[in-house]
Structure 1
Amino acid sequence: MSEEKSRLDELLNDPMVQLVMQRDHVNPKGVRWMLERARARAEDPSLPPAYMVARECWEHGICS
């Protein structure tokens, strides 16, 4: 887990990734939140389709 977290930290701290996220109005905190939810539900066969995840992203202010 800590190795995965350090990889995510490295990725989210990359200047190029930050520029793309800024352009797309996505914040690192929101990405972490969405990935944590996806991990928690990964074993759940009722995982919603991508369009529902995208809608939830907007509803929670992750994407603006």
Structure 2
Amino acid sequence: MTLNSERSRALGDRLRQARRAADLTQEALAQASGVGTEHVQRIERGAGNPTVATLYALSDALHIPIANLLPQ
């Protein structure tokens, strides 16, 4: 099962905003979270289909609740 394109884009936008607010590059977020740089890039473009574990890793690295990444 994959996210629909609207939700994928919204998730990517939220991740990008949170990463920029934390003053991190995509590479720094990837290193801090253990998620590959290319996967972070795909998620931000709305082309990725991250698992719940990936979302937790990203939210932990950003020090934000996972809910902040999830579109409504």
Q: Report if TM-score (shorter chain) is over 0.5.
A: no
Q: Give me the TM-score of the superposition, normalised by structure 2.
A: 0.30
Q: Give me the TM-score of the superposition, normalised by structure 1.
A: 0.31
